[in-house]
Structure 1
């Protein structure tokens, strides 16, 4: 389940809602998937904590097919879901330091 503010059926939220905004990220602290760190921080008493890039936990989810992948798999996915091949927002890479460490 993807949490967030005004989340649609594919994980888009009030902050990010284009056709390619379908990636959800796992918070290392609460272990929940959120549409974005902004939604997470509004909805929780703690800030979003990034996942380690070396962690083998499935920390990224495609909102279209709910496929979960490791950070490494996501970062090497060529901006598309390895399962359903739906395009991911390439600009999400600008937030890598927020979601991954």
Structure 2
């Protein structure tokens, strides 16, 4: 799965967020491309971001950078770790959820 933006490693960490638990990439509704974060999208994309509407939260739009499995938005919002490999996710990402999911 290709991840766009300023990644710094194969587990989707980027120049903006690169702690041990920053291992998810979000598929942006507007371009259907995975980016590590909203700042990477802003720097790389030539358009404004769109958020996923609630009625589309069943779509696979979150990528685990550890095992590369995709998960539905609703599954991601309901967990703090990858359901496939158990990798811990950064719980502080919830503060940015409104930038990805409407």
The answer to whether TM tops 0.5 is yes
Q: Displacement of 1:2 after TM fit? A: 1.5
Cα 1:94–1:50 change in 2 (3 A) is: same
Tell me if the contact between 2:7 and 2:36 (Cα under 8 Å) persists in the aligned partners: no
Instruction: Say which of 72, 75, 93 aligns to 2:74.
Output: 72
Report the Cα distance in structure 2 between the residues aligned to 1:84 and 1:6, rounded to whole angstroms.
21
Report the Cα distance in structure 1 between the residues aligned to 2:18 and 2:82, rounded to whole angstroms.
17
1:24 alignment partner, SS class: strand
Structure 1 gaps, min length 5 = none
2:43 alignment partner, SS class: helix
Corresponding residue number in structure 2 for 1:37:
38
TM-score by length of 2: 0.92
Give the CA RMSD over aligned residues.
1.0
Report the Cα distance in structure 2 between the residues aligned to 1:72 and 1:6, rounded to whole angstroms.
25
TM-score by length of 1: 0.93
Corresponding residue number in structure 2 for 1:48:
49
Corresponding residue number in structure 2 for 1:84:
85
Tell me the matched-pair count: 100
